[in-house]
Amino acid sequence: MRTRWGVRLVLIALCAYGASAAVTLGSTPGTTLARAGGCPPVQNTPSFTIAFGTVKLDGSDAPVDSVVEARSPRGDTVGCFEVTTAGHYGFMYVYGQDSSVQPPIPGMRADETVTFYVNGSAATVSPELVWHDDRDPHEVAITGTTPAGLLGDVNDDAAVDSTDALIILSADVGFDVSPFCPMNCGDTNADGVVDSTDALIVLSYDVGFSIPFPVGEPGCPASITQPPGCNL
């Protein structure tokens, strides 16, 4: 009875809150939830340089679909590449600022150092890439690491929000959520399972209620019973 009412409460709350469309639910168990991700929009400009090379993640070749980003010192994404061959990226165009239009298009400026990210986390590189509008390819080896998971963040987007609550609830009722499994970070109350109670905790956190669990902080349970949606 508790689980049934928990599911109803979370569904009502999610509908009222307008849960993100980052996942799509079908009408029957077995419907796959699509993971959000990929490159953010990058505005092309007439000036650019090019980066390519190897990319490692946690000591191994970065897998296919890993996202390599180039960012300016102002935090703008000025280049992006989705890995298609494990351990390699590029050619990735890294664009410069275009001040010939209004408003100006953000980008790199001469002599600035490009910062690289892998799957949203800052990476180390060798050698550093100092940007010039040379339009030439530069080989840059990138090494990234995966940060410790955030409690409640089951889709690995570095945020805990209504999308995570929807994924957790979907897993509890038996929808296929295999792209997000194992779902250890979904056990927000450390009771060893991922269920509608965790979904309600995540949604409460997202809307600003005070909760007695460290949701949104690094560290997830090492061992849990995976929800039905992870065992299809």
Number of separate domains in the chain = 1
- CA nearest neighbour of 165 among 176, 179, 153: 153
Residue 39 lies in a domain: no
Using 50, 70 and 90 to split pLDDT, how confident is the model at 24? Answer: very low
More confident residue, 2 or 173: 173
Residue 81 lies in a domain: yes
**Residue at token pair 């997000």:** 180
Residue 21: pLDDT over 80? no
Judged on CB neighbours under 10 Å (0-12, 13-18, 19+), 196 is: buried
Once rounded to an integer, what is the mean pLDDT over residues 178-202?
A: 93
Using 50, 70 and 90 to split pLDDT, how confident is the model at 206? Answer: very high
Tell me the torsion sign for CA atoms 75, 76, 78, 79. positive
* Order of strands, sheet of 121-122, starting from the edge strand that comes earlier in the sequence: 77-82, 67-71, 115-118, 121-122
- What pLDDT digit, counting tens, does each position of 107-137 carry? 999 999 999 999 877 899 999 999 999 999 9
Residue 58 lies in a domain: yes
Q: Which two tokens stand for residue 203?
A: 């949604």
Residue 163 lies in a domain: no
Could you tell me the CATH number of the domain that includes residue 90?
2.60.40
DSSP string spanning 69-95?
A: EEE-TTS-EEEEEE-SBTTEEEEEEEE
Q: Which two tokens stand for residue 173?
A: 């009722």
Residue-range definition of the domain harbouring residue 111: 48-144
- What pLDDT digit, counting tens, does each position of 32-47 carry? 333 335 788 999 999 9
Residue 16 lies in a domain: no
Q: Quote the pLDDT of residue 16.
A: 46
Give the percent of the chain with pLDDT over 70. 83
